[in-house]
Amino acid sequence: MTITVSADRLWAFAAGVLGACGVPADDAGTTAHILVEADLRGVHSHGVLGLLVYVKRLRAGGVAPTASVTVAADRGATLLLDGGNGLGQVVGTAAMERAIARARETAVALVGVRNSNHLGMNGAYAMMALPHDMIGFVTNAGSGNLLAPWGGIERLLGTNPIALAVPAGEEPPPVLDMAMSQVSKGKITLAATRGESSIPAGWALDKQGRPTTDSTEALEGLLVPIGGHKGAGLSVMTGLLAGVWVGGLFGREVRELFGPPEVPQQTGHLMAAARVDAFMEPAEFKRRVDAAVRELRSSARAAGAEEILAPGERGHRLAAQRRAAGIPLDAAVARKLQDMADEVGLSEPRLMAA
């Protein structure tokens, strides 16, 4: 069973919940925007569902309500920021804004972030570069270890998602946003929240490293990396870049998002923005990207495939539909969110009737 909520109402609800936890209005609005953007694009595992853990961490002191973002190092085309243990969405937005501003001067800019928290949907930050005729890149590490080194059973590696966004002209801009696991833990958490005991095969392993379709065993076990050893290897490398290199955590140092809520996570991020005109005039680049997207879409399909889409195209379509018709939320999830809002004292707006 689902309920349908307008994007504006869902944003007001999320911002209101965060505000009730002491988050300044502008920061609450920024975080709510990133969460709702995920729900609009169908990435519910990184949408308003995240409030359930963010509020716990805010109230327990594990996340600072006010993000005090400071510059730790400034070297030409690179910046290192300290997130002040603020909400990842606030810190991440500030970091990509800095990357875009610096790239105007240096053509390419790289921004590292330490002492932050869970980012949510990485693609939202990569897409911030698009209106500026820039390419956006984002990866992060340290939001929780859910993978094992290839051949192992100990949680030492993160899902460490990467996102790339490329400007286009008339076509939807290609946006790749993927984790190093077959699915995010959020999808399994969502299934468990809905009361679904079974998940698809190939998503997860139990504590002993054996394949499982039980959502409870999966939450206590491991996620399956994409491409086997290749996904595990990518997790190591992104962890070294967005964790170790920026002064964040790696391996056994990492603190779980769903761990003790009073303990700061000290998550690391790495973001980049690159001006299209560093290599090519933007109008020509966008024309060629449009042509590439159309070539992909019109290419020969395998048996049973209804259509071929460019990366991010499904999410782009879904967001347009949901902005017009509203966002469907699982009723069980909406009830948990409403109970949480009642607990923090938010009277309006409501997701569900009292």
Percentage, residues of the chain above pLDDT 70: 100
Q: How far apart are the first and last CA of the chain?
A: 18
- Residue 36 CB partners (closer than 8 Å, separation 6+): 7, 10, 11, 14, 47, 48, 327
The encoded tokens of residue 251 equal 């391996």
Residue with tokens 């400034």: 74
**What are the pLDDT digits (tens) for 209-226?**
999 999 889 999 999 999
Q: What does the block give as tokens for 190?
A: 């969502």
- Whole-model pTM? 0.94
Instruction: Flag whether 15 is in a domain.
Output: yes
pLDDT, tens only, 251-307 = 999 998 989 999 999 999 999 999 999 999 999 999 999 999 999 999 999 999 999
pLDDT digits (tens, 9 = 90+) for 129-176: 999 999 999 999 988 899 999 999 999 999 999 999 999 999 999 999
Mean pLDDT (whole number) for 36-47:
96
pLDDT of residue 57: 98
Phi, psi of 145 (to 5 degrees): -90, 120
What pLDDT does 150 receive?
A: 94
pLDDT(354) > 80: no
Nearest 5 degrees, angle CA 35-CA 38-CA 185? 90
Domain count, the chain: 1
Residue 299 located in a structural domain: no
In this structure, is residue 119 part of a structural domain? yes
Residue 290 lies in a domain: no
Query: Is residue 213 situated within a structural domain?
Result: no
Whether residue 349 has a cis bond before it, omega within 30° of 0: yes
Is 90 exceeded by the pLDDT of residue 352? no
Check which CATH number belongs to the domain holding 60 and give it: 3.30.1370.60
Residue 304 covered by a domain: no
Does some domain include residue 134? yes
Q: Domain range holding 152?
A: 2-181+225-282+313-344
Cα(122)–Cα(41) distance, integer angstroms: 12
Q: How confident is the model at residue 1 (pLDDT cuts 50, 70, 90)?
A: confident
pLDDT of residue 187 exceeding 90, the answer is no
Rounded CA Rg of the chain: 20
**Whole-number average pLDDT of the chain:** 95
Tokens of 21: 């936890």
Q: How far is CA 124 from CA 16, 183, 327, in A?
A: 21, 18, 17
DSSP state of 46: G
Residue 118 lies in a domain: yes
- The C-alpha angle with vertex 225 and arms to 220 and 230, in degrees rounded to 5, equals 150
Pair 181, 225: CB distance under 8 Å: yes
CB atoms within 10 A of CB 41: 24
Over the stretch 86-121, which tens digit does the pLDDT of each residue have?
Answer: 999 999 999 999 999 999 999 999 999 999 999 999
